[in-house]
Structure 1
Amino acid sequence: MAVRVFEGIDHAAAYLQHRVAPYELINRIMSYMEKRMPNQFNLAVDVGCGSGQGTILLAPYFTKVVGTDVSPAQLEIALTNPRNPPSLSYRECPAEKLPFAPGEVDLVTAMTAAHWFDREKFLLEADRVLRPGGCLALLSYTMDMELEYGDVSNATLHDICNEFYTALLPYRNPHIGKSSMEIYSAMFDSCSYPDKEWNECLRSKRILPLSGYLGMVETFSSYQKLLQQDPAEAERLSNDTRNKLMSAMKVSSPDTEVTVVVKYFYWLARKPL
């Protein structure tokens, strides 16, 4: 059974504000497709689209893009994005039951979402809606994002961040276990398409205010669970992490910009003709 998370309107709004968009991954997906099916980009479906940061990046390449999600709150927030082009729409539905005809879709993506699905049913559903030659692209990132700031030791910043991540581990949803990468690797192995590739680490750097990095971690399901169970402890943990980082960086404002290193992993596969 799929797991439903990220459904509160405040959480959805924070998701749109703080989650990073996977620009580099979109380039990798399109390069993979262009080598195999040039000039045939009609319909892309982004499953578990959330607030649409990744979905909107597909719009320049396809005649039509549809983002799907089970969360009405996430879709409500996605629809508020003023950058949404006319070719982009959103549908509320589970990942395992997509509202498309067999063979109708050129690309099925799931960006930082497939670990929440009923994985076996989702892969069968993706195969059903993909046309022969169509592509499936699944991507996510590890929790251990790194920070870089000036000449401050990366190890010092990493240790502080790692304390934050470690404190959240007890609140991690059992559905995704200790490692989401293992989930994606197992899904890759179970995909029967002969034309497929696995990529374990693509380091993507983003310049964000320190408060933006903390805001992104606070959107994680583990932090949100802690926030629900013990709001005071969640606030204390976040504030403590912020203060330790600011002290190590020797800065007085959480608006100070840092480099956040996000470590993506992903896999791509093409349905046989």
Structure 2
Amino acid sequence: MAVRLFEGKDHAVAYLQYRVMPQELISVVMGFMEKRTKSFHLAVDVGCGSGQGTALLAPFFTKVIGTDVSPAQLEMVPTNSSPPNVSYRQCPAEELPFESGEVDLVTAMTAAHWFDRERFLQEAYRVLRPGGCLALLSYTMDMELEYGDVSDALNDICKEFYAILFPYRNPHIGTNSVKIYTDMFDSCPYPDKEWNQCFRIKRTVTLNGFIGMVETFSNYQKFKQKDSAEAERLSSNFRDKLMSAMKASSPDAEVTMIVKYFYWLARKP
């Protein structure tokens, strides 16, 4: 069964502001495709949210369509700066509004763990043309920080933060999201497929940006729904701890954030 989250307007705004988009992984996906096909007409980004990842596909395809079940997320799409060949549709991941064999690339970026996975894989198989590709990308919550000679101290603080939020994980994704994707990879019948366990992406962010990203996660949002004031105190406490370790006077101090992506790619026979 699919799970619907990220549908509040405030959450959608924060998602657009803080989530990291994997430009480097788009290059990996396109490299996989370019070795296997000459057809780059239609790409479909499923569970596209506010379209940050969808837009990254625009230079490579004639047409790119992002789909999401959440109206709040789609309302956040920056329409004034969207590439002209990119559009969006509201629909479930398991019921894509495309003809069979019409799509060259189906991708889901940090979204497939919320889908009805068996039905989604069946739907992806239906809409992909022979030789079309499926690319599923996500990352683990244990982002790391780098800052001078206090990186270890910062990451110990981060681990405390993550540990407090861990009990609030949605049961649909269990204790380990990597296993969800390895299970999907194993169940995918395409013989031509690749799995990568860890692809590190580095971004320079402010401490506020790092805290803001953690706050977009579903377990933080669940904690916030239970006790909004306590959630705010938690964020403030860990922001102060990080600033202290860095000897920073402002939460706008910049650090290097490392996001650990994993992904799998497959070509439909």
TM-score in same-fold range (> 0.5): yes
- Give 1:158 deviation, angstroms: 0.8
Task: Report the equivalent of 1:107.
Answer: 105
SS in structure 2 of the partner of residue 185 of structure 1: helix
* CA distance in structure 2 between the aligned counterparts of 1:82 and 1:220, rounded to whole angstroms: 27
**Moved beyond 3 Å, runs of 4+:** none
> Gapped runs of 5+ residues in structure 1?
none
2:185 to 179, 183, 188: 188
Superposed counterparts of 1:165-180, under 5 Å: 165-180=162-177
1:149 to 129, 147, 150: 147
1:201 to 161, 183, 198: 198
1:231 equivalent to 2:233? Answer no
Matched residue type, 1:3: V
* CA distance in structure 2 between the aligned counterparts of 1:139 and 1:179, rounded to whole angstroms: 15
Q: RMSD over aligned Cα, in angstroms?
A: 0.7
Task: Report the equivalent of 2:120.
Answer: 122
Matched residue type, 2:17: Q
* CA distance in structure 1 between the aligned counterparts of 2:107 and 2:118, rounded to whole angstroms: 15
SS in structure 1 of the partner of residue 230 of structure 2: helix
User: Deviation digits for residues 59-105 of structure 1, max 9, x if unmatched?
Assistant: 00000000000000000001x35321111000000000000000000
Task: Report the equivalent of 2:22.
Answer: 22
Task: Report the equivalent of 2:72.
Answer: 73
User: Deviation digits for residues 29-64 of structure 1, max 9, x if unmatched?
Assistant: 0000001013x1000000000011111000000000
User: Deviation digits for residues 111-130 of structure 1, max 9, x if unmatched?
Assistant: 00000000000000000000
* CA distance in structure 2 between the aligned counterparts of 1:219 and 1:83, rounded to whole angstroms: 23
- Give 1:257 deviation, angstroms: 0.6
> Gapped runs of 5+ residues in structure 2?
none
Task: Report the equivalent of 2:49.
Answer: 50
- Give 1:151 deviation, angstroms: 2.3
* CA distance in structure 1 between the aligned counterparts of 2:81 and 2:216, rounded to whole angstroms: 22
Matched residue type, 1:7: E
1:256 to 235, 248, 253: 253
TM-score scaled by structure 2?
A: 0.99
Matched residue type, 1:212: G
* CA distance in structure 2 between the aligned counterparts of 1:12 and 1:64, rounded to whole angstroms: 25
- Percent identity, aligned pairs only, is 74
* CA distance in structure 2 between the aligned counterparts of 1:82 and 1:219, rounded to whole angstroms: 24
* CA distance in structure 1 between the aligned counterparts of 2:93 and 2:183, rounded to whole angstroms: 18
User: Deviation digits for residues 133-172 of structure 1, max 9, x if unmatched?
Assistant: 00000010000000001222x2211110011111101111
Task: Report the equivalent of 2:130.
Answer: 132
TM-score scaled by structure 1?
A: 0.97
User: Deviation digits for residues 146-203 of structure 1, max 9, x if unmatched?
Assistant: 0001222x22111100111111011110000001000000000000000000000001
SS in structure 2 of the partner of residue 200 of structure 1: strand
Report how many aligned residue pairs link the two structures: 269
